[in-house]
Structure 1
Amino acid sequence: MRRRRRGASDAPDFPWWLVAIGVLIGGSYVVIALDDGARQVLSTLRRGLWITVLVTATAFAGACLIGLGVALMAVSGSRVARQLARFYTELLRGIPILVLLLYVAFVLVPGLVAGWNWVADATGLPMARTRDFPLLWRAVLALVLAYSSFIAEVFRAGLESVDEGQIEAAEALGLSRGRIFRHIVLPQAFRTILPPLGNDLVAMVKDSSLVSVVGVLDIAQLGKVTAAGNFRYFETYNVVTLLYLTMTVALSLALRRLERRLDARQSQ
């Protein structure tokens, strides 16, 4: 493999890849604007766009909260907590997301409802019904569980990257554990965590399409229903692909910009 020469070649490459993707996306929207059938498909799929954004944002926030808790258990001084954290991450990472989604939607939630009703029958509490839990939120719960196991490992690696000497110095100065975490550990760990965490966010945008298998009307499900109704598979799935590509590229660029800003602050 030929090595790059030092000097002028050390300057960042011009992002021709971004220009190519921009031309591809922009040209596709122009074609859609000129095609009545494609415009109708885009108008229909816009309703699913908000469901996709809702699923992604809610599931990612929940996964981050649970993942942080599991990561703190994984780096704690308690052997039981570390073993429980390891059990959680290995168990959920070993199950395909699609299988986990179906299990949560049609096994776990009905099982929890049945367990609640058993307790309610003995204590006089109000009974619950499985249909009171929409499939949308069952799907979100499944994504939270699946991604929290991956994000927990991201947080754990970030927390362990902080120099132990800084923590010991802060303890010697009498800082509480909460202040040490907020002011010393978390800011340094965040720089390590951000790139893989951003990758997980982009991946969740794409994996949110899996909620369509349980009938949630996101972009993928509306695309399937629309194509089955108008038989315009070419136009419909082109629009579906374009919407996902637009979201993931825009999100990736925003995350790269954030990383550069953090690096610039660190170098000052």
Structure 2
Amino acid sequence: MDFTILTDYFGDYMEGFRGTLLSSLLALVGSFALGALIAVFRIGPLRALRWLGTGYVEFIRNIPLLLVVYVFYYGPAAFGIPLDGFTAGTIGLAVYTSSFIAEAIRAGIMAIPKGQTEAARSSGLTYGQTMVHIILPQAIRLVIPPLGNQFINLIKNSSVLTIVAGLDLMYFADIVNSDTFRTFDTYIFVALFYLVLTLPLSYGVRVWERRLQRKY
């Protein structure tokens, strides 16, 4: 392996690393918030919201991530609101991941005894307050492992940004490869940068899960 590629193009790799990290963090926050909202819709008392939540999950989960990114990259431009590759890719990544997070959180909500919801409502809490203060905190604790897996998948899926020039790791790796023509070495170093992001997250999820188990 030619380590001079890493040293000579370290600035490019770091630029891509920062882009991937920022996109992943923004998409993580967005997908979690949207996923939690959709999960509440899916088990809510209003039939229209249940249909909306179910339709959203079934539609988004069953189309390719690349197509979702293309929708946000080319769609707004057709209405005179062009988005750069980074923005469109990050939004697409958040929307796509939120459908999987919604299902994980919904499973956690369904595992909470219904008596807790009934007790909270009888105490005067609204449905929204019951979800935010009583049900969701417990549900999220139950589904930390699948949520952690989805967040790791999100980081790896961020490589789709390169298709729309999203300034991520893969985008800059393509530039390095076009200069060096050392394809194997170039992308092995990219894999190492992805491991720098995913391995600590995987370890952190396991530690968090163990702490919560001891606490509760």
Q: Same fold (TM over 0.5)?
A: yes
Take 1:218 and 1:230, find their aligned partners in 2: how far apart are those partners? 19
Contact 1:74-1:156 within 8 A present in 2 as well: yes
Q: Deviations over 1:207-242 (max 9, x none)?
A: 001100111221111111101112222321111011
The sequence identity of aligned pairs, in percent, is: 32
- Offset at 1:109? 1.4
What TM-score does the superposition give when structure 1 sets the normalisation length? 0.75
Matched residue SS, 1:95: coil
Aligned residues: 216
Partner of 2:183: 233
Which aligned pairs between 1:1-268 and structure 2 lie closer than 5 A? 35-106=3-74, 108-111=75-78, 113-114=79-80, 129-130=81-82, 133-266=83-216
SS at match of 1:244: helix
Give the structure with higher Rg (CA).
1
1:32-74 CA distances to partner (integer Å, 9 max, x unpaired)?
8xx4333223342011111001111111211111111111111
Q: Which runs of 5+ in 2 are unaligned?
A: none
3-state SS of 2:9 partner: helix
Do the aligned partners of residues 243 and 81 (structure 1) sit closer, same or farther apart at CA in structure 2, a change above 3 Å counting?
same
Unaligned runs of 5+ in 1: 1-30, 115-128
Q: Which moves more between the two structures, 200-209 or 92-101? A: 92-101
Taking the aligned partners of 1:109 and 1:223, their CA distance within structure 2 comes to: 28
How does the TM-score come out when normalised to structure 2? 0.92
Structure 2: which amino acid aligns with 1:189?
Answer: A
